[in-house]
Structure 1
Amino acid sequence: MVFTPPSSAGELPPIPDNIPISEFMLSESHGRTPFNQSRHPYTCGISGRSYSPSEVVTRVEHLSRALSKEFNWQPNQGTEWDKVLGVFSLNTIDTLPLSWATHRLGGVVSPANAAYSAAELKHQLLDSKATALFTCLPLLSTALEAASMAGLPKNRIYLIELPPQITEGAKAPGYKTLENFVQEGSALPVLENLNWGPGEGTRRTAFLCYSSGTSGLPKGVKISHRNVIANVLQISSFEQSWRDHLSAGSKTPYTEVSLGLLPQSHIYALVVICHVGTFRGDQTIVLPKFEMKSYLTAIQNFKISALFLVPPIIIAMLRNHEVCSKFDLSSVTSLFTGAAPLGMETAADFQKVYPGVTIRQGYGLTETCTVVSSTHPTDIFLGSSGCLVPGFEARIVTPEGQEVTAYDTPGELVVRSPSVVLGYLNNEKATKETFEDGWMRTGDEAVVRLSPKNVEHIFIVDRIKELIKVKGLQVAPAELEAHLLTHPAVADCAVIAIPDASAGEVPKAIVTKSVSAGTDDEAIAKSIMKHVEDHKARHKWLKGGVRFVDAVPKSPSGKILRRLLRDQEKEARRRAGVKL
């Protein structure tokens, strides 16, 4: 049985397949809100610096000219894989203009998680074959170390400026900045336009985002220009009737001020906030990172109406209600959460504290170029991930391969959409396992339930994949297990997720000690945890601790029995009186 969007979800317009994202986003010819009816797309929530729509167009054009000269990238020469640009930075108002300038030249942008260690960044630089890297001052030392290990020369590292409040006035002499590129490009001749025929936007990769998958090191997900354009149109079409309702009686379309706090390297922020918002004429208040006071101050000062968050921040707001109450948050009318499930109880608690805020939840993956399903403002069903957006089809499949035809019956969610990506870079095996005939296996267990309004909603009930989600960021157990096995005290190990009130989940290591490990379990555990902290990003640290066992339980084929380990942990927490 194939599930489809409800009739109320709206109609998906034709999706252009012969233009780059830059043209789609920076021209009024493809349905975006006209410039004179749009807010400033990006405003720094720390310094207040802002760009108008026309200023963004100018910056992109100047940047593209200067990038073309610096790297000898010509719009209609070579393939996109000759023009791969790495971006390793905290959030800035220049991240998207830089991306679109690269797309203007037919190149690929590969955004890297700002929490990466040098080793993790090195892997992405090598795997993507990035020609150059844009970073920022707080991450420069990590970028330099990674670039050195990857063989990327120092003169191919550039800086994106951050507000002086973040950098504390520090400078890095000798590094060319993004602003230098803009100034240089203003004096350079105009470039020829990209000359793409039908289907070029479908075939060409625009973003190479990295996803942990279910095993090994993160894999490069090839996201085409049409994938991004499709999801922008899917989300916009889905919410258009509501926006029309809000703008009824006005001569201009409804636009809002939204929060741009989530990492721009993450597909959620990259598409939903940075592309959809701009296309609809919204203003995004960009914050480099989460800090409670600056977050609340930005909401108050810029009158932010739409919060795009992940569950840990929502939980932090509930826990710090006394702090939050000192700020004027009355401008907030909606909250959208994604990247990890928001529990029904947490949503209900938030609704009690902030009754005037509409709580919505969405579901998506890097491999679907974001949103698969979303809560419509007129059909709130707490705990669900909403209904399918226009252009999506879904099936629920049991482990035996049977299609589910009844409501409230679990199985793996399999989806099809024009936003489903091209596959994984240089990994045919993983691509074949995940994508088939346009359908994508999500690895997530789901059920379909009817809302009180008799609309089909998607509920994500468990993960078939073994990913751990820490504050919405992916952690692959196999990656940590491989690293743990390099510690001399570890003979065998497994990494599982355990619940955490603030992070959602955190990794915990189940370890069988080596013969030479010794008997001081506390010291060995500390050494193992430090081994991870010295080499991995913070969200991958073993915040759940280390437990020693005589043998890691495995199936006859050698597969780690993670569910058994999770059940053991759950029982141990129950006995200890820990709230589950």
Structure 2
Amino acid sequence: MTATSLRQLATPQTSLYTNLEVCANRHPAKDAILYYGSSLSYGKLRDEAQALAGFLQQHCGVRRGDRVVLFMQNSPQFVIAFYAVLRADAVVVPVNPMNRTAELQHIFEDSGARVAFIGEELMEHVRPLMARQVDQVVTARYADYLDMQTDLPLPDILTSSGRQHDAQSPENDASVTRWYDALLHAYVARPHEAGPEDLAVIPYTSGTTGHPKGCIHTHRSVMHSTVSCGAWPDLPGESVMLCSVPLFHVTGMQNCMNMPVFIGATMVIMTRWDARCAAHLIERHRVSTWVTVPTMVIDLLNLGDIASFDLGSITYLSGGGAAMPQAVAQEIEKRWGIAYVEGYGLTETMAATHINPRTRSKPQCMGVPVFNTYALVVDPDSLETLGEGETGEILVSGPQVFDGYWNAPQASRDAFASIDGRRYLRTGDLGYVDHEGYFFVVDRLKRMINASGYKVWPAEVEAMLFEHPAVQEACVIATHDARRGESVKAVIVLRGGACTTQDDIVAWARERMAAYKVPRVIAFADSLPRSASGKVQWRVLQEAENRRKGLPESS
């Protein structure tokens, strides 16, 4: 059964940067960003993006199509840097701020980026790459954009970053420029040339074979997703949006940054998640729209004094990454009188391919295909299209689908299938479509762990664990986590004579990989189960773990 979106959407045939230019011309004094009591107007956002674009071109030598790494936490500087890179006709390579040096090294080498915007607290992970992989860096101190006193609870990074600033940005390092120094140069950017077919963003997604792969997105694919995010729920330009999910990730990038810029909404940005601070921000700024993940909503509802906050301004609450527990969805409807609208998407699709209709959502459901999008369910082996209610692999096709993986032609070919003359992306998720055209995910075709919406590919974690001197073999599986949904568990066989502990391995892993990838649970074994061909049978271990946790084996 093929499902096609009944709604079509015409999007601007311009670069993504043009959205900021148009909005700043229309509403120069309007608040683009509210940041812990301080504000930044659309006019100022545009002016600073242009100045930094000039710096990239005139000082750093960035040219059309060059890749520029963006390695920051949520902040005004993230938004400004993102649009500065686009204004310079270059390509944004957003990187998870939880990544460590080894993970960063691969991204710099694979993307070919030689210039980067870096949060100063993250410079310790970049410095080992300076000179060899990185030529020029602009460092940002998030607290520089706090120009008003506030009684809001601030994250530590905003109260301690001054000390880090002095320690990590030596004056004599010509390859490192501080944010405001870059702005003070006041370089004038060359005329903007990028169009719909130029590359815009290359976000990296962890891979099944170990190394993350860059997803190639043009201005056209990002623009379609950007416009869809606002048009599907028909959000007005007067919307005030809480930006609590990471902006480096396509969900936050599209729903909490690019879409608000397109419609001229106001972004209330949080650098670190804090449920109590979020409650204050929603109440104080009359937040109307919140695109988030279930764990954040659960944290907010679990505040002991949640009833004391006036959160009734929220009229649209949406998210994805993991299914919202039914009991929590019912609590949302009871407390705020609105549904939690679930959606589905991938890094390869620059966020959503499916979203539930705002007024007719189904619980724990992907939704229906969004504008101009086709979806079907097929037998994963034969690629034969399946009927209503039959479980198979979900395939999607639409303007938001990426062009392929950067520097990975075989992986790009493997990612797509041609059916009835249409090119579809193979999602790797198993599901079915019901009689009304709503899609549901029931399982995974490939190994993957979903930790609070972060996708962890076991092969990548295993490859890093093998570098530990005491580890002979490792098999990574999912373990149930009441708050995060799933966490990472590693079953490890030690080398002969080696002696180590779970705490030692966890501490070692924390130094080398992003926090969400670090195994929360370590189990030591004498051997790993293997097939007749010698291949490790990870599914045997996964099913044993599911039984231990009282979960169904297909989970």
Map 1:454-465 to 2 at 5 A: 455-465=436-446
Conserved in 2, the CA contact under 8 Å of 1:362 and 1:371?
yes
2:5 paired with 1:12: no
Where does residue 220 of structure 1 map in the other structure? 214
Where does residue 148 of structure 2 map in the other structure? none
Q: 1:456 to 1:516 in 2, by over 3 A?
A: same
Q: 1:430 to 1:304 in 2, by over 3 A?
A: same
TM-score, scaled to structure 1: 0.85
| Aligned mates of 2:47, 2:433 — CA distance in 1 | 46
| Aligned mates of 2:343, 2:262 — CA distance in 1 | 19
Q: Which amino acid aligns with 1:218?
A: P
1:548 Cα deviation (Å)? 2.8
Which of residues 255, 273, 286 is equivalent to 1:272?
255
2:490 paired with 1:503: no
Which of residues 437, 441, 448 is equivalent to 2:426?
441
| Aligned mates of 2:17, 2:541 — CA distance in 1 | 48
| Aligned mates of 1:469, 1:516 — CA distance in 2 | 35
Residue by residue over 1:135-191, the C-alpha shift from the partner in whole angstroms, topping out at 9 and shown as x without a partner, is 12222222323436x5424xx221123126604343335353333333322xx4563
| Aligned mates of 1:67, 1:488 — CA distance in 2 | 42
Map 1:63-142 to 2 at 5 A: 63-73=52-62, 79-80=64-65, 83-142=66-125
1:443 Cα deviation (Å)? 0.6
Q: 1:475 to 1:189 in 2, by over 3 A?
A: closer
| Aligned mates of 1:34, 1:390 — CA distance in 2 | 28
Conserved in 1, the CA contact under 8 Å of 2:240 and 2:288?
yes
Residue by residue over 1:543-573, the C-alpha shift from the partner in whole angstroms, topping out at 9 and shown as x without a partner, is 1x12233432233344433332222112223
2:353 paired with 1:376: no
Map 1:419-438 to 2 at 5 A: 419-437=400-418, 438=423
1:289 Cα deviation (Å)? 1.2
2:43 paired with 1:54: yes
Percent identical across equivalent pairs? 25
Conserved in 2, the CA contact under 8 Å of 1:138 and 1:167?
no
Bigger drift between 549-558 and 293-302 goes to 549-558
Residue by residue over 1:455-485, the C-alpha shift from the partner in whole angstroms, topping out at 9 and shown as x without a partner, is 4211111122212122211222111112222
Give RMSD over aligned pairs. Answer: 2.5
Which of residues 397, 401, 411 is equivalent to 1:416?
397
Q: Which amino acid aligns with 2:318?
A: F
1:254 Cα deviation (Å)? 5.4
| Aligned mates of 1:231, 1:99 — CA distance in 2 | 17
* Matched residue SS, 1:418: coil
| Aligned mates of 2:126, 2:307 — CA distance in 1 | 39
Where does residue 504 of structure 2 map in the other structure? 527
* Matched residue SS, 1:322: coil
Where does residue 325 of structure 1 map in the other structure? 307
| Aligned mates of 2:25, 2:43 — CA distance in 1 | 11
Which of residues 30, 33, 40 is equivalent to 1:42?
33
* Matched residue SS, 1:49: strand
Conserved in 1, the CA contact under 8 Å of 2:428 and 2:444?
yes
Conserved in 2, the CA contact under 8 Å of 1:89 and 1:114?
yes
Which of residues 546, 550, 555 is equivalent to 1:574?
550
Q: Which amino acid aligns with 2:140?
A: I
| Aligned mates of 2:322, 2:268 — CA distance in 1 | 23
Where does residue 454 of structure 2 map in the other structure? 473
1:491 Cα deviation (Å)? 2.5
| Aligned mates of 1:34, 1:58 — CA distance in 2 | 11
Conserved in 2, the CA contact under 8 Å of 1:396 and 1:412?
yes
Q: 1:254 to 1:69 in 2, by over 3 A?
A: closer
Conserved in 2, the CA contact under 8 Å of 1:470 and 1:504?
yes
Residue by residue over 1:371-407, the C-alpha shift from the partner in whole angstroms, topping out at 9 and shown as x without a partner, is 1011221112111121110111011112332434422
2:382 paired with 1:391: no
Conserved in 2, the CA contact under 8 Å of 1:373 and 1:388?
yes
* Matched residue SS, 2:387: coil
Q: Which amino acid aligns with 1:66?
A: F
Which of residues 22, 43, 47 is equivalent to 1:27?
22
Q: Which amino acid aligns with 1:310?
A: V
Conserved in 2, the CA contact under 8 Å of 1:43 and 1:49?
yes
1:524 Cα deviation (Å)? 3.1
Conserved in 2, the CA contact under 8 Å of 1:485 and 1:491?
yes
Which of residues 512, 521, 543 is equivalent to 2:493?
512
| Aligned mates of 2:531, 2:376 — CA distance in 1 | 29
Q: Which runs of 5+ in 2 are unaligned?
A: 145-153
Map 1:331-342 to 2 at 5 A: 331-342=313-324
1:14 Cα deviation (Å)? 4.9
Count of matched residue positions in the alignment of Structure 1 and Structure 2: 527
| Aligned mates of 1:402, 1:85 — CA distance in 2 | 38
Q: 1:61 to 1:517 in 2, by over 3 A?
A: closer
| Aligned mates of 2:209, 2:294 — CA distance in 1 | 25
1:432 Cα deviation (Å)? 1.1
Where does residue 548 of structure 1 map in the other structure? 524
| Aligned mates of 1:35, 1:128 — CA distance in 2 | 36
| Aligned mates of 1:396, 1:38 — CA distance in 2 | 48
